[in-house]
Structure 1
Amino acid sequence: MGSLSIWHWIIVLVVVLLLFGRGKIPELMGDVAKGIKSFKKGMGEDEPTPETKTVENKAENAKDHG
């Protein structure tokens, strides 16, 4: 059970091709890439912008003085 021989990989490849077809695999990989890009974009949007920081600072200052 240590390493897989070339025959194991060939069988796995044939099964994957039978399940998804040749055209479906690149489409799935494209969808995965789009998902990763949108995830990274979403993570970048979580960082506060300078305007947000200014509004937050003003709110904190108002609490301190009020």
Structure 2
Amino acid sequence: MGAFSTTHLIIFLVIIVLIFGTKKLKNIGSDLGGAVKGFKDGMKDGDKAAAESSAAAAPAQQVTAERRADGQTIDVEAKTKS
């Protein structure tokens, strides 16, 4: 048997509504939904930024490899910062 039955959960929800009120619970739900949406958007933006940074890093590594074949070294970070 479970620790809580349906009756226990209904009584618990009624007490929560009496304590906080429906308006406060609605605001909490809206804030929570907005936070979840913001988190998901942030995860999508993070994936895009990671893909762009890895794509930008690949040509810099190729330039470094070409320069080393000539016997010269180059500061790749100095080139990308400017």
TM-score by length of 1: 0.73
Say how many residue pairs are matched: 64
Q: How far, CA to CA, are the matches of 1:16 and 1:9 in structure 2?
A: 11
Ranked by relative contact order (alpha carbons within 8 Å, sequence separation 6 or more), the top structure is: 2
Identity of aligned residues (%): 30
| Distance in 2 of aligned mates of 1:46 and 1:5 | 41
Bigger helix fraction? 2
- Name the larger-Rg structure: 2
Q: Secondary structure at the match of 1:46?
A: helix
Q: Quote the residue 1:63 is aligned against.
A: 64
Q: How do residues 40-55 of structure 1 correspond to structure 2 at under 5 angstroms?
A: 40-48=40-48, 52=53, 53=55, 55=56
- Structure 2 residue identity aligned to 1:26: K
